[in-house]
Amino acid sequence: MEHSYTFLDKRLYAYCTPQQRKYPEMVIYNEKLGAALGLDHLKDKPLERTAIFSGQQLFEEMQPIAQAYAGHQFGHFTMLGDGRAHLIGEIKTPSGQLVDCMLKGSGQTDYSRRGDGLAALGPMLREYLISEAMAGLLIPTSRSLAVVATKEKVYREKPLAGAVLTRIASSHLRVGTFQYAATLQDRDALKSLADYAIHRHYRDEVERGLASGAQTAKYLLFLQAVSRRQARLIAKWLSVGFIHGVMNTDNMLISGETMDYGPCAFMNPYHPQTVFSSIDTQGRYAYGNQPYMGKWNLAKLAEALLPILDEDKTKALEGVSRVLVEYDEVFSKAYMDEMAAKLGLGEAEEGDGELIQTLLQWMEHFQADFTETFIKLTLREVDSLPFAALPEFSSWQEKISTHQRKAHADFTEVETAMKRANPAVIPRNHLVESALQQATEKTSLSEFHHLLELIQAPFSYSKEQLACVPAPLEAEKNYRTYCGT
């Protein structure tokens, strides 16, 4: 394991030891991910795996730390830090990538404030399931390697089973990490952090920018690169109906991966104002607000980086506004491309925007299920769509077909392309809840494993996946998610 983070300014982290437990028990281990990380030596060693991924066995090469960060939570600035997570080290994968290996729910740290440092089994299994679903949907995300039950109680509204999740991410640098560094009022510390982030995530982009002689300084190129990746990520979220739920700046990774699977959920009937999180009473992080909140978060990153962007403050601010204007363009293009692909149109063309908008308006008006609508369009089962009887629908379809024929050789090819862009299955809220309930109340993981199998390859269009298509609307109408993780 490596510990590149510990070479940064000492104020950015604290050495902390995971809590000891007597009887940890492995609940689920991600064999495929383990192999991709080069952890084959742990393959037939279940006891060792359990000990490592609950924080019991600490090899010399592990130096657990908790990272310091700040964040705007629902718009309010707060000093935070890993209050219940330990970064045990960084793994160099066989393909040469450096990734963070972090335990979550592993006990108190210097940043726990009044928290107990613990996590409950249900929410950790939920994070495992949804993050693996996102990976299956080919959306950049942190990954889940293991969930270990601690066999100790965690006290929330009632006593719950405790657990530790092992999260793998290409780093845990957040917008909030930069906000924290900015509070140190130390330009060198801030520069080292930015250089570190560039080195881990944006070396090519920044080098290319500098080599092209762009009139943009290094750290502005960095901001621009983060902005572009974030815009594309959020376009991908929208394309599958994903609602993150808690896009605070401490939950936004610099690498452009999705992280923090607390109150997230997938939308059923299409409506831009859809919110699931019980604490998001203002709809700040509603489905359709996500691109704007992504931009808001980037403005906070820009604010933190301001002291190192340019000696000339006016120039620095001009650079920032250029990046933020560009964010809108990158997002719009990425979103249009995602939606055009969903309709089998290849790359977006002039006029596609109107076709997409029309469809979304019908979906909103008729409360059509987002995922199901696109599956029906893919499989050409349009007659059962709630808006199929509209007189305008046939001319809309004709326009779509004409464009599809331009983009693809024949309709078989259109269908193949649409199947790659429209998942046959998403982690439907009622399926997730039922699997988690069975796992936590009846200690059976059979439903969980079954659902996991379906959502890990969501574009296969298997019979079993298609059986999950219809959303039980009534049961889901008042679905709420909670941050009480």
With CB cut-offs between 5 and 8 Å by kind, which of Mg ion, ligand AMP, none does residue 140 bind?
A: none
With CB cut-offs between 5 and 8 Å by kind, which of ligand AMP, Mg ion, none does residue 82 bind?
A: ligand AMP
Task: Provide CB contacts within 8 A for 284, sequence distance 6+.
Answer: 74, 75, 293
Closest approach of ligand AMP to the CB of residue 252, in Å: 10
Q: Strand, helix or coil at 75?
A: coil
- Cα-to-chain-centroid distance, residue 134: 7
Q: How far apart are CA 326 and CA 224, in angstroms?
A: 8
Q: Where are the beta strands (DSSP E) in 93-125?
A: 98-104
Q: How far apart are CA 6 and CA 64, in angstroms?
A: 10
Q: Given the complex with Mg ion, which of 85 and 334 has the nearer CB atom? A: 85
> Among 361, 360, 234, which residue's Cα sits nearest to residue 289?
234
Closest approach of ligand AMP to the CB of residue 69, in Å: 7
Tokens for 428?
């439907």
With CB cut-offs between 5 and 8 Å by kind, which of ligand AMP, Mg ion, none does residue 372 bind?
A: none
Q: How far apart are CA 423 and CA 428, in angstroms?
A: 12
Closest approach of ligand AMP to the CB of residue 79, in Å: 9
Q: Given the complex with ligand AMP, which of 247 and 436 has the nearer CB atom? A: 247
Q: Given the complex with ligand AMP, which of 182 and 418 has the nearer CB atom? A: 182
Q: Given the complex with ligand AMP, which of 248 and 422 has the nearer CB atom? A: 248
With CB cut-offs between 5 and 8 Å by kind, which of Mg ion, ligand AMP, none does residue 198 bind?
A: none
Q: Given the complex with ligand AMP, which of 70 and 336 has the nearer CB atom? A: 70
Q: Given the complex with ligand AMP, which of 65 and 118 has the nearer CB atom? A: 118
> Among 177, 24, 31, which residue's Cα sits nearest to residue 103?
24
Rounded to the nearest 10 degrees, the angle between the axes of helix 203-211 and helix 218-240 is 130
Closest approach of ligand AMP to the CB of residue 246, in Å: 6
- Cα-to-chain-centroid distance, residue 239: 13
Binding residues for Mg ion, per CB under 5 A? 251, 260
Q: Given the complex with ligand AMP, which of 94 and 484 has the nearer CB atom? A: 484
Binding residues for ligand AMP, per CB under 6 A? 80-84, 112, 115-118, 246, 250-251, 260, 262, 483, 485
Closest approach of ligand AMP to the CB of residue 71, in Å: 7
Closest approach of ligand AMP to the CB of residue 106, in Å: 10
Closest approach of Mg ion to the CB of residue 78, in Å: 12
With CB cut-offs between 5 and 8 Å by kind, which of ligand AMP, Mg ion, none does residue 142 bind?
A: none
Q: Are the CB atoms for 357 and 396 separated by under 8 Å?
A: no
Q: How far apart are CA 21 and CA 336, in angstroms?
A: 50
Give catalytic residue positions: 250
Q: How far apart are CA 260 and CA 160, in angstroms?
A: 20
Q: How far apart are CA 121 and CA 146, in angstroms?
A: 12
Tokens for 309?
């962007």
With CB cut-offs between 5 and 8 Å by kind, which of ligand AMP, Mg ion, none does residue 143 bind?
A: none
Strands 70-73 and 98-104: unpaired
Strand partners, 269: 369
With CB cut-offs between 5 and 8 Å by kind, which of ligand AMP, Mg ion, none does residue 112 bind?
A: ligand AMP
Q: Are the CB atoms for 187 and 308 separated by under 8 Å?
A: yes
Closest approach of Mg ion to the CB of residue 292, in Å: 20
Which sign does the torsion angle of CA 471, 472, 477, 481 carry?
A: negative
Q: Where are the beta strands (DSSP E) in 16-126?
A: 25-29, 65-67, 70-73, 76-79, 85-92, 98-104
Q: Are the CB atoms for 88 and 2 separated by under 8 Å?
A: no
Q: Given the complex with ligand AMP, which of 172 and 376 has the nearer CB atom? A: 172
